Amino acid sequence: MLELRGLKKSFGQLEVLKGIDLQVDKGDVVAILGRSGSGKTTLLRCLNFLEKSDAGTLSFDGESFDMARIGKKDIARLRAKTAFVFQNYNLFLNKTALQNVTEGLVIARKMPKDRAVEIGRRMLERVGLSDRESYYPSQLSGGQQQRVAIARALATDPEIIYFDEPTSALDPELTGEVLSVMRSLAEEGRTMLVVTHEMGFARHVSNRVIFMEEGEIVEAGDSRSVFEQPRQERTRVFLRNVYQHLETNEAPSPEG
Ligand SMILES: Nc1ncnc2c1ncn2[C@@H]1O[C@H](COP(=O)(O)OP(=O)(O)OP(=O)(O)O)[C@@H](O)[C@H]1O
Ligand SMILES: [Mg+2]
């Protein structure tokens, strides 16, 4: 469904992505792991053209695009098939939960308002927030705000959803409700690319794992083998450190 070849990106002298290859099939849930600064967010932003790539070819649904030269029209067409969930939710603060979900449908998709509201309500129900449709973001917890953002992502029925650390701004007690919505999306066969530090999610919900370091993919494989038998020493060190950190700092999450 999605194939990326040779993605490169520098910020000035700093080469942040050094030639990333990636294939995502329909129904894949791919967890992207790696230390801070390894290029995970930049990878997602380049994939969704929030950042301009220096080189790379993106094939989506059989069409190929030169990422360094792609035009606005193709970007708009590709974005219509994707959705992005940000770490900090990116909700409109002056709009209600329902309006946040319907906004894109009415404005970008030119959908009649009553049809958009119908879809918006269905999506809020999907993430367990039917009773909060007229609340503003400031009246919602972080976990609820992120679930509104997920409802908004689902509203356009995207072929793939990119998540950039969707739970890392949340207090631990709110992380579970967002992860359980994401788990249910995985179970219904949604294609997702998820940057995460949630090892339970990466291990038990995603079917594939990518481990990045300094702008390169060090290891990629099915979740089970990456966690149980990592091939690269650098992956082993990373996983060992993460698990030590978990053991010393917090109790295992219900997802793990
Ligand atoms: N707009 C920018 N201008 C200059 N440098 C940037 C920019 N965005 C990212 N970088 C640099 O690129 C590198 C990769 O950043 P990126 O945000 O992709 O890392 P990350 O893996 O998502 O890290 P984290 O886990 O902390 O979110 C970092 O060294 C960062 O400082
Ligand atoms: Mg990041």
Q: Residue 66's closest CA among 48, 80, 79, 53? A: 53
**Can you give the pLDDT of all 256 residues of the chain as single tens digits?**
999 999 999 999 999 999 999 999 999 999 999 999 999 999 999 999 999 999 999 999 999 999 999 999 999 999 999 999 999 999 999 999 999 999 999 998 899 999 999 999 999 999 999 999 999 999 999 999 999 999 999 999 999 999 999 999 999 889 999 999 999 999 999 999 999 999 999 999 999 999 999 999 999 999 999 999 999 999 999 999 887 777 666 555 554 4
Instruction: Tell me the CA–centroid distance for residue 40 and ligand 2, in Å.
Output: 5
Give the chain as a 3 state SS string.
Answer: CEEEEEEEEEECCEEEEEEEEEEECCCCEEEEEECCCCCHHHHHHHHCCCCCCCEEEEEECCEEEECCCCCHHHHHHHHCCEEEECCCCCCCCCCCHHHHHHHHHHHCCCCCHHHHHHHHHHHHHHCCCHHHCCCCHHHCCHHHHHHHHHHHHHHCCCCEEEEECCCCCCCHHHHHHHHHHHHHHHHCCCCEEEECCCHHHHHHCCCEEEEEECCEEEEEEEHHHHHHCCCCHHHHHHHHHHHHHHHHHCCCCCCC
CA distance 193 to 190: 10
Ligand 1 in contact with 40 (CB < 6 A)?
yes
Q: Is the pTM of this model over 0.85?
A: yes
Q: Are 39 and 164 in contact (CB under 8 A)?
A: no
In this structure, which ligand is nearest to the CA of 37? 1
Out of 14, 15, 54, mutate this one to test ligand 1's pocket (max ligand atoms within 8 Å of CB): namely: 14
Ligand 1 in contact with 138 (CB < 6 A)?
no
Ligand 1 in contact with 41 (CB < 6 A)?
yes
Instruction: Tell me the CA–centroid distance for residue 45 and ligand 2, in Å.
Output: 10
Out of 8, 9, 10, 38, mutate this one to test ligand 1's pocket (max ligand atoms within 8 Å of CB): namely: 38
Out of 33, 35, 36, mutate this one to test ligand 1's pocket (max ligand atoms within 8 Å of CB): namely: 36
The full set of domain ranges for the chain reads 89-158
